[in-house]
Amino acid sequence: MNLRRIATAAAVLALAATATTAPATAQTKLKGTVGPGFTITLTQNGKKVKRLKPGRYRITVDDKATMHNFVLRGPGVDREITGLNFVGRRSATITLRKGTYTYVCTPHPTMKGSFTVR
């Protein structure tokens, strides 16, 4: 009888432990903005992104002008998140590896920023 209670308690504790652990596919959120003027940004919790750890990230971009786009390039990534003639919000899930990444508006290459992943 005691062994059954111990086994049940162990099973309940194991379930509780997995319920409080973040899933392996958890994503960190980043926010990008392009336009309406000649600005492009990428932030995390309101601060400009300079360094990130490798992993999966959910990037949500607010594109505020039809003449701009938001493209992210780096190791294993060459992704246009918003395109020309688009105004609105788009999101993408990206896996970042060690290296340097650049986000840019391709028609206006001086509109760019970069960060490192290490």
Q: Specify the CATH number for the domain of residue 54.
A: 2.60.40.420
Per residue in 24-78, pLDDT tens? 356 899 999 999 999 999 999 999 999 999 999 999 999 999 999 999 999 999 9
- pLDDT value of residue 106: 98
User: Do 25 and 56 form a contact (C-beta atoms < 8 A)?
Assistant: yes
Provide the domain count of the chain.
Answer: 1
Per-residue pLDDT of 81-92, as tens digits, reads 999 999 999 999
Tokens 């840019």 belong to 104
Residue 88 lies in a domain: yes
Ranges of H-type helices in the chain: 2-20
85: β partners:
none
pLDDT of residue 27: 80
For residue 42, the enclosing domain spans 25-117
52 inside domain? yes
User: For the whole model, what pTM was predicted?
Assistant: 0.78
Model confidence at 22, pLDDT cuts 50, 70, 90, reads very low
